[in-house]
Amino acid sequence: MPKACDSDGKKRFHCYRCDFNTIYKHSLLKHIRGHRGEKPYECQVCLATFAQNSTLHTHLRIHTGEKPYKCDHCDYRSQRKSSVKRHILFRHAQILISCYKCDYSTTYKINLINHIRRHIGEKPYKCLRCPASFIQKSALKSHLRTHTGEKPYKCSHCEYRSTTSSNLTIHVRIKH
């Protein structure tokens, strides 16, 4: 494993495939696993695999429902610290990005992208079973259920099932 001295005199370990370097040998070994596609850590619940043990532990929170990170400004909680940071940036920092064609503005880049697609008529998500196309991937996913007959959203009060959560919400509001 190649070593070199940095300007501060500490030995550094350098990756042979990219510019990554560290003073810790174990950090380099973890890093190299990513290049090799190695994922030795497996979730015992859903069998998902991960390159790092720490990533597995973060993933396990999905199954336990643990959300140890909390926003200081509201009740938002998350399984990841980075999600709380992103939440604070977009919900509390109020950095707005604006449409170049109209007065629309949003804090989320993806919302602006989808908005601009409406202006220019771009519908990049195409159904392979019919001529339908959509601005958002989620809309295509929902549309595909019309072909498969899948209705994953079930009413907790009766036997009603729906292809979308919004249809289920309307059903519950009207019928129950």
Determine the pLDDT at residue 5: 52
pLDDT digits (tens, 9 = 90+) for 64-117: 999 999 999 999 999 999 999 988 887 887 778 899 999 999 878 889 999 999
pLDDT of 10 > 80? The answer is: no
Decide if 32 contacts 15 (C-beta within 8 A): yes
Residue 164, classed as helix, strand or coil, is coil
pLDDT of 43 > 80? The answer is: yes
* Rounded Cα gap, residues 124 and 2, in angstroms: 46
φ, ψ dihedrals at 158, nearest 5°: -150, -170
Q: What is the pTM of this model?
A: 0.46
